[in-house]
Chains A and B, each alone.
Chain A
Amino acid sequence: DGGITQSPKYLFRKEGQNVTLSCEQNLNHDAMYWYRQDPGQGLRLIYYSQIVNDFQKGDIAEGYSVSREKKESFPLTVTSAQKNPTAFYLCASSILKGMNTEAFFGQGTRLTVV
């Protein structure tokens, strides 16, 4: 089935450890995005990428890093520099051309740092 897959669904880490969240898509989409969602809040953009080996900071990039070595993969690393990493993380992808397009979201990874 075509879609966007995030893994794992739940992730627990100790404070001070880096952790990498996986995002894979087989939709052949050029653009991929990472969002963070806190309880009762909307989504905030962390990073996005429009092409392999290139990515741009979103509104809350501090404490996060990404890579885009393959078109279908856009992993997010939550570093120890992120002061409040516990949140729900969502990955999305979209085509890059045309105006009437949508983003497809994964099921999310809930990260808890203790």
Chain B
Amino acid sequence: LAKTTQPISMDSYEGQEVNITCSHNNIATNDYITWYQQFPSQGPRFIIQGYKTKVTNEVASLFIPADRKSSTLSLPRVSLSDTAVYYCLVGVPFGSSNTGKLIFGQGTTLQVKP
């Protein structure tokens, strides 16, 4: 399973763009990159998933370079409600034969200040 490294914590201010980078040097060919968000005392919530290049949805963008050894989650114009823990997961996604084997590390605690 691919090990991921992401910053333990980050601070930002309302209205700023936040970029959280995740390193995954031993990513395998079949691995996808998935990001989840977790608020205190709640279950994680899916944000975005990608395999290569760039993926964008209504809440975030995911940038993946050609070598796929890292990825960057971009949150545009954050608000106080974006304060949460963000997990970078690398592996065969939920729903495949390797289901359940995605590793949730410590994640990145993002603190958005007014």
Contact = CB atoms under 8 A, between A and B. Distances in A.
Contacts of A94: 94-95, 99
Interface residues of B, number: 23
Interface in A68-114: 88, 90-92, 94-108, 110
A42 B49 contact: no
A31 B94 contact: yes
Contact of B106 (A40, A91, A95, A107): A40
Nearest to B30: A99
B110 to A, nearest CB: 15
Nearest to A46: B100
A50 interface: yes
A64 interface: no
Interface string B74-103: 000000000000010000111110011101
Given A99-B95, A102-B93, 15 more contacts: A31-B100, A42-B104, A43-B44, A45-B100, A50-B99, A90-B44, A94-B95, A98-B96, A99-B32, A99-B92, A99-B96, A101-B93, A102-B49, A102-B94, A105-B43
